Structure 1
Amino acid sequence: MAAGRGAVLLRPPESSGRATFLELFFDLAFVVALTRVSQRFAGLSNDTGWALAEGFGRTLLLFLALWLIWSHTAWITSRYEPEQPIIQAVVVGTMFASLVMAVTLPRAMEERAVPFAAAYLMVMLVRPLVVAVALRGHPRRLVPFRLAAWAAATAPLWLAGALGPDRLRLPLWAAALGVDYLAWALGWPLPRVGASRIGRWRIAGTHLADRYQQMVLIALGESILVLGTVFSGTDYSAQRAAAFAVAFATSALIWRIYFHRAGLLLTEALDRAGMPGRLGATSERTHLLIVLSVLVTSVGYELVIDDPYGPPRPSWLLFVIGGPMLFLVARVRLEHEIFGRVSRSRMVGLVALLLFTPALARWAPMVGLSVVAAVLALVSLLDARRSRGRSMEVSASPLAGEGPGDRDSEA
């Protein structure tokens, strides 16, 4: 009987695969968060050497903490019915905590560490307990209990990093976040209970794909916001106008390359999978890289538009060239997840950028951004040439072969 009462929270098979308006509202907090992440990255433009590496590492850690919150929420609304009041309350509470993390993020590694860590722990520790209690006697309650147990184990590291000396914050938080990600990858194993086999979870695959694609669009939207803000806030010149146009073309090409074939078929691949949990978990990591690459690239736009023909610096090479390279790596990975093959066009783009990088290190930022746009245009043209005259392929994911018989009791 208790399991029956808890079962009302589960997503029924006939539930819509589209994101609800509440989830789109929830994403607004991450619009703010991604903007703050970009601002922290942009603040590294004049750094070199160890200062650049440390600053990048600090900002990357904060982004990964935010991503973990967002991705866990996407999985919650893919496993549980988002129209249920308790799930809606969980999403709204997570949104508030995410907004706290977003507004404290610019100084989260400095004097605002305590509210950032407190908001993170509120989501990671309290939220799964609320879901577990709402599930009552249902077998799925063991999964959120696992999450809460692991969050409680890393909470002392988060609190020690927030309350302790500044020099210890980065290593303590890095260790805590590393454990949080490792626990997810392993299925949050506990003594006697074992691990939860994430690959066999029952999730709404269509919904999860929809959420990943929406986050990519949010990141691209943030890059467009950077374009408009930077260009409107600087003195007009023909050089800056040209940089603005090339940066916009780069974002448009990233959009085109992401959604070409594999990006469009992600929904179908997850929908066709007998048990989409394994593909969903792998795709989550791929989309983490894609969103990060778009953010890093958008910082490159800011640097180039601000000073198109300024002296070359290590920071602009990291953002202008490194971001698009990371995007192509992630897109190769997505192609393999959907079709089980390596994308030749994206490998051509990667090799081209690698070959150009030594020379671009000695040229002005505008030259580097122009080369990036040209390489991405080449990748897009190769994609178009390969698909010309062919019907849309059917996904053949090597990660989606599990059948319904593989389910476990707490899936």
Structure 2
Amino acid sequence: MAAGRGAELLRPPTSSGRATFLELFFDLAFVVALTRVSQRFADLGNDTGWALVVGVGRTLLLFLALWLIWSHTAWITSRYEPEQPIIQAVVVGTMFAGLIMAVTLPRAMEERALPFAAAYLMVMVVRPLVIAAALRGHPRRLVPFRLAGWAVVSAPLWLAGALGPDRLRLPLWAAALAVDYLAWGLGWPLPWLGVSKVSHWRIAGTHLADRYQQMFLIALGESILVLGVVFSGADYSAERAAAFTVAFATSALLWRIYFHRAGLLLSDALDRAVMPGRLGTASERTHLLIVLSVLATAVGYELVIDHPFGQPRPSWLLFVVGGPALFLVARIRLEYEIFGRLSRSRVIGLVVLLLFTPLLARWAPMVGLSVVAGVLTLVALLDALRSRGRPLEVSSSPIAREASDVRDSEA
């Protein structure tokens, strides 16, 4: 009977795979957060050398903290029934904490460090304890206890970084975030409580795929928002109008390339998986890179629209070319996860983009963005030629076919 107590929180096999309206509402906080991340990146537009490296490192750290909060929530709602009042309360509470992190993010490395860290720790420490209490006697209650235990380990580093000298904030928070990601990767091992690797969790695979696709679209929507805000606020000129047009075409190409076959079949692959948690874990890392690449590309739009034929700088090259290059790398990885093959069109596009990079360092930003759009167009055309006249493939993920020898009762 003890194992049955709290079982109503678990997702039943008949539960819908679609994201609930509450989860879509929850994503609104992360629309704000991603916009703030993009703005921090854009503020680095005039930086060079070590200042650029430190600025990118700080913003990347804040993004990774936000991503961990969002990703944990996506897994929770894929593992537990989101229609249950306690899970809904957890999601709304996480949304509020995420909104605090979003509004403090522009100065989170400066005077707003404490509220950012406090909101993060509220989610990482308190949320799993609430879920564990709601599960009562169910064996799965040990999993959130593990999460809370590891969060307590990293909490002193977060607080020391927030309260200590500014110069120590980045290394202390980097160490804290490394602990949190290491715990996620290892399955939060603790003495007497054992380990619970995410790849062994029983989850709603279709729901998790839906959440990753939605986050990609949110990031893509943020890039469209950047386009509209920057172009509407700048003095009109034919050069800026051309940059606006090419940037929009680039976003449309990113959408096309992502959803062509592999992105479209992510839900099917997770639904067919023997161990959906294993494929979901790999897909989580891939979508982290995809979302980051879209944000970086959006920053490139802002730099180009503001100064389409300005002097080239290392900072704009990092975003205008680096963002799409990272997207192609992540999309190659997604192709392998779904079909077990290397995407030749994306490899060709990546190689062409890298070959052009030394030349783009000496050309105007508008030229760089145009070359990027041309390369992405090439990838999309190669995709269309390869699939022309062929039926839609069935996912054959090598990761999804792998079965685990570990069967833990809490999985």
Q: Tell me if TM exceeds 0.5.
A: yes
Cα RMSD after superposing both structures:
0.9
Deviation at 1:198, TM superposition (A): 2.0
Q: Distance in 2 between matches of 1:285 and 1:141?
A: 26
Kindly indicate whether the alpha-carbon contact (under 8 Å) linking 1:337 and 1:399 is maintained by their aligned counterparts in 2. yes
Partner SS, residue 399 of structure 1:
helix
- Per-residue deviation, residues 70-124 of structure 1 (Å, max 9, x unmatched): 0000000000000000000000000000000000000000000000000000000
The number of residue pairs the alignment matches comes to 411
Task: Quote the residue 2:248 is aligned against.
Answer: 248
Q: Distance in 1 between matches of 2:382 and 2:95?
A: 41
Q: Distance in 1 between matches of 2:405 and 2:156?
A: 40
Task: Quote the residue 1:382 is aligned against.
Answer: 382
Task: Quote the residue 1:30 is aligned against.
Answer: 30
| Amino acid of the structure 2 residue aligned with 1:18 | R
1:368 lines up with 2:368 in the alignment: yes
Task: Quote the residue 2:299 is aligned against.
Answer: 299
- Per-residue deviation, residues 17-69 of structure 1 (Å, max 9, x unmatched): 00000000000000000000000000000000000000000000000000000
Task: Quote the residue 1:100 is aligned against.
Answer: 100
Q: Distance in 1 between matches of 2:187 and 2:406?
A: 16
Q: Distance in 1 between matches of 2:332 and 2:257?
A: 11
Partner SS, residue 235 of structure 1:
coil
| Amino acid of the structure 1 residue aligned with 2:229 | T
Deviation at 1:406, TM superposition (A): 5.6
| Amino acid of the structure 1 residue aligned with 2:230 | V
Task: Quote the residue 1:121 is aligned against.
Answer: 121
- Per-residue deviation, residues 203-259 of structure 1 (Å, max 9, x unmatched): 000000000000000000000000000000000000000000000000000000000
Deviation at 1:408, TM superposition (A): 2.1
Summarize the alignment of residues 122-271 of structure 1 with structure 2, pairs less than 5 Å apart: 122-271=122-271
Kindly indicate whether the alpha-carbon contact (under 8 Å) linking 1:3 and 1:135 is maintained by their aligned counterparts in 2. no
| Amino acid of the structure 1 residue aligned with 2:176 | A
Higher deviation after alignment, 401-410 or 315-324: 401-410
Deviation at 1:401, TM superposition (A): 1.8
TM-score by length of 2: 0.99
Q: Distance in 2 between matches of 1:125 and 1:406?
A: 27
TM-score by length of 1: 0.99
User: Which sections of structure 1, spanning at least 5 residues, go unmatched?
Assistant: none
Deviation at 1:407, TM superposition (A): 3.5
Q: Distance in 1 between matches of 2:2 and 2:48?
A: 59
- Per-residue deviation, residues 154-188 of structure 1 (Å, max 9, x unmatched): 00000000000000000000000011001100101
- Per-residue deviation, residues 251-300 of structure 1 (Å, max 9, x unmatched): 00000000000000000000001220000011000000000000000000
Q: Distance in 2 between matches of 1:390 and 1:406?
A: 39
Q: Distance in 2 between matches of 1:388 and 1:377?
A: 16
Q: Distance in 2 between matches of 1:107 and 1:207?
A: 34
Aligned-residue sequence identity (percent) comes to 84
Kindly indicate whether the alpha-carbon contact (under 8 Å) linking 2:187 and 2:197 is maintained by their aligned counterparts in 1. yes
Q: Distance in 2 between matches of 1:404 and 1:180?
A: 24
Deviation at 1:405, TM superposition (A): 8.2
User: Which sections of structure 2, spanning at least 5 residues, go unmatched?
Assistant: none
Task: Quote the residue 2:286 is aligned against.
Answer: 286
Partner SS, residue 72 of structure 1:
helix
Q: Distance in 2 between matches of 1:199 and 1:184?
A: 10
| Amino acid of the structure 1 residue aligned with 2:336 | H
| Amino acid of the structure 2 residue aligned with 1:135 | L
| Amino acid of the structure 1 residue aligned with 2:59 | T
- Per-residue deviation, residues 134-157 of structure 1 (Å, max 9, x unmatched): 001111111100000000000000
Q: Distance in 1 between matches of 2:410 and 2:218?
A: 33
